[in-house]
Amino acid sequence: MTKPEPADMIVPRIMKQYSERPRGWHIMSTPRGEMLILSSDSAFQLKLIPLNPYEFTGAGVELPESCDTVESIRSSPEFGLRPLSESDLHSILNSITGDSGPKLSLDDILRRTPRSFDELSTNIPTPVLRGPVLMRPDLGSLSPEILKRQISLDRSAEKTFRKRFPERAGIYF
């Protein structure tokens, strides 16, 4: 098993890979901060501990090889960042409220090519649909290998949290 890395080292690597090639990504997460992040040629398992809405700490590991569980997740709709225009928002609203006018389905949006972070305009803020992200109560129930890694990541994430934020860790652990 690969040794866990702090989240602040592995997450930027994942973000860089996404920016280089935003197609073929799939994400599964849990309410406890466990995540599987899959691209077409790599896979990562993470345990994240939120510090506030904009920051987190934790640990992650790049998965050395693919398994049946990971491959089944890759068959889900691909994750991505997809900008929405004003007409998209009106069409979505028409779909929800039942009003007449053009309607837009989620499937129509998901067929669009995901964008990288660099392609999204920072000058003119536009709404962005992010997802889909698959949800699950816990990742450990997917397979014994994932459970074993998750236990290791839980310990590593807690250790990183205690080291970086000893005052806060005393409150929670």
Mean pLDDT for all residues in the chain:
87
Domain ranges of the chain: 1-79+132-173, 82-130
Rounded-to-integer distance, Cα 146 and Cα 118, Å = 32
Encode pLDDT of 150-170 as tens digits. Answer: 999 999 999 998 888 887 766
Entry pTM: 0.84
Report the length, in residues, of the chain: 173
Encode pLDDT of 71-114 as tens digits. Answer: 788 888 899 999 988 888 888 888 788 777 666 777 888 888 99
Check if the beta carbon of residue 164 is closer than 8 Å to that of residue 158: no
Candidate from 22-26, 137-141, 166-170 with smallest mean pLDDT = 166-170
Residue 135 bridge partners (DSSP): 29
The whole-number pLDDT of residue 135 equals 94
Query: Which single residue is written with the structure tokens 């090889």?
Result: 65
113 by DSSP, 3-state: which? coil
Handedness of CA 66, 153, 31, 19 (dihedral sign): negative
* Secondary structure element (H or E) that encloses residue 91, with its range: helix 86-97
